[in-house]
Amino acid sequence: MKKLVMFGAGNIGRGFFAQLFFESGYETVFIDINEAVVNELNRRKGYILEIIGGKAKKVEIKNVRAVDGKELSAVAQELKTADIAATAVGVNVLKNICPALAAGIRARADSGITLPLNIIIGENMINAGAFVHENVKELLEPEYHAYVESSVGFVETVLGRMIPVMPETLRKKDPLYIMVEEFCTLPVAKHGFKGDIPVIKNMIPGEHFLSFEERKLFIHNLGHAVCAYLGYLHKHEFIWQAVGDPIVKKYIKSAMNESGSAIIKKHNLPPEEVHNYIDDLLARFANKSLGDTVARVGKDPIRKLGPIDRLVGAARLVIEQGGVPDNIALGMAAVMFFNPQGDEAANKVQKVLKENGLGCVLENISGLKSKDVLFKMVEKKFELLKSNINGI
């Protein structure tokens, strides 16, 4: 049986990658540092995945086991005999798994294995493949560099499946149980593969992959974020409530259209294709069965306000393409009022805002200068929201 080494046994690892590879005849070996999850996977060798929404059903995922990510030599041995690998650990953790990837590549090279190892980088990050490639190469001695170039593929993807955080009651009852939406397509960058591209259910190799990445980050993730921040302003608890609010939905769709128009222009895409993508996303956001909260989707606003992330990155793209990111700027301004209980990053934003003002947030978190057009736009939207927070 072929083997996938899956870094991350969380929502995306268990709720997306493992399903596709199981249904394609693979064993999945999860690499994770959560000892409880590792032990449970090894005890049960499987778990239940529930697809919610229109075509609801339960799927039993089998042929799985797990290795503690802190055991570097054990991880390297799994990679040594892997047919393919994937990551779903989160952007902030991605660099931390590079030593394990390097150790596995070193083990393959030392054993004379010429069969390529392709690593699918399942993170919300543009140029994630290049990032992992560079970091892994830095950790390897020069004599391994030629092997990396000839026998290791760093494959970028975009993750579209939405997976809500499991309620604590269900997690306690079964730490492996997971609920997902029906959408289950995995676009991958064709040029990233070395050797033959494996045939995996719902995996679609594509060219010109930057347009896929920008659509995901600057339309899907952008729209989700604006939905959360404006939804929070309007005191909605769930994403489906926010997108069901006609006032909020109008601004969400307008922000997505701003970015969508820029992406259409930049990549010469058919407008109907992008507009249909936006409409489909709005319908998926409205899925009550997901039970996704505005607090979860808006979580970690420091990262989401970053210079190249979903809000600022999208706004800059709109400006570059000659547009005006009016509604994206509104979404950025709404972040300044986002402060759900338990979100440490949101608390930090509030602290900086209170002590040093909006300009400090935009300069130090978003990388904007006071002379920037976007800086001035966000200032105006912020003042508008301060004077009439529910008047948008």
The reply to whether 128 and 262 lie within a common domain is no
- Considering the domain architecture, whether residues 237 and 301 belong to the same structural domain is answered as yes
Q: What is the DSSP code (8-state) at residue 13?
A: I
Domain residue limits at 276: 210-387
pLDDT higher than threshold 70 for residue 391: no
Number of helical (H) and strand (E) elements in the chain, helices listed first: 20, 11
What share of the chain in percent tops pLDDT 70? Answer: 99
The alpha carbon of 35 is separated from its chain's Cα centroid by a whole number of angstroms, namely 24
Over the stretch 12-24, which tens digit does the pLDDT of each residue have?
999 999 999 999 9
Q: How far apart are CA 175 and CA 47, in angstroms?
A: 9
Last residue of a domain, one of 185, 207, 229: 207
Quick one: 235 and 382 in the same domain?
yes
Last residue of a domain, one of 207, 223, 248: 207
Q: Residue holding tokens 């970690």? A: 300
Instruction: Work out the angle at residue 238's Cα, subtended by the Cα atoms of residues 58 and 249, and round it to the nearest 5 degrees.
Output: 110
How many structural domains is the chain composed of?
2
Q: Which of 163, 160, 178, 175 is nearest to 290 (CA)?
A: 163
Q: What is the pLDDT of residue 275?
A: 98
Residues 300 and 311 in one domain: yes
In whole angstroms, what is the distance from residue 190 CA to residue 205 CA? 5
Q: How far is CA 39 from CA 65, 69, 148, 342, in A?
A: 9, 12, 32, 28
282 within some domain: yes
Asked if 219 and 201 sit in the same domain, the reply is: no
Residues 115 and 65 in one domain: yes
In a domain, 244, yes or no: yes
Asked whether residue 69 falls in the same domain as residue 132, the answer is yes
> Does residue 256 lie in a domain region?
yes
| Mean pLDDT, rounded, for 337-353 | 97
Non-local (6+) Cβ contacts of 12 within 8 A are 88, 122, 159, 161, 163
In angstroms, the CA 216 to CA 218 distance is 6
Give the three-class secondary structure for 203: strand
Share of the chain above pLDDT 90, in %: 92
Can you tell me whether residue 117 is helix, strand or coil? strand
Residue 392 falls within a domain, yes or no? no
CB 296 within 8 A of CB 164: yes
Chain-centre distance for alpha carbon 335: 19
Alpha carbon of 64 to those of 45, 182, 315: distances in Å?
A: 5, 22, 42
Task: Give the pLDDT band of residue 81 (cuts 50, 70, 90).
Answer: very high
Check residue 225 and give left, alpha or beta (phi > 0: left; psi -120 to 50: alpha): alpha
Are residue 220 and residue 358 in the same domain, yes or no? yes
pLDDT, position 344: 96
Asked if residue 256 and residue 176 are part of one domain, the reply reads no
Domain end (from 142, 175, 207): 207
CATH number of the domain where residue 363 is located: 1.10.1040.10
**Residue 266 and residue 143 share a domain:** no
Which residue(s) pair with 154 in the sheet? 119
Asked if residue 109 and residue 27 are part of one domain, the reply reads: yes
In the three-class reduction of DSSP (H, G, I as helix; E, B as strand; rest coil), residue 205 is classed as strand
Same domain assignment for residues 200 and 134:
yes
Query: Exposure pattern of 110-144 as b/e (b: 16+ CB <10 Å)?
Result: eeebeebbbbbbbbbbbebbebbbebbbeebeeeb
The CATH number assigned to the domain holding 80 equals 3.40.50.720
Burial of 330 (0-12, 13-18, 19+ CB in 10 A): buried
Contacts for 122 with CB less than 8 Å, ≥ 6 apart: 8, 12, 16, 17, 86, 87, 88, 157, 159
Tens digits of per-residue pLDDT, 104-137?
999 999 999 999 999 999 998 889 999 999 999 9
163 lies in some domain: yes
pLDDT band for position 390 (50/70/90)? Answer: low
Q: What is the mean pLDDT of the chain?
A: 96
Of the candidates 387, 362, 360, 389, the one whose C-alpha atom is nearest the C-alpha of residue 377 is 362
Query: Which residue bears the tokens 């947030």?
Result: 361
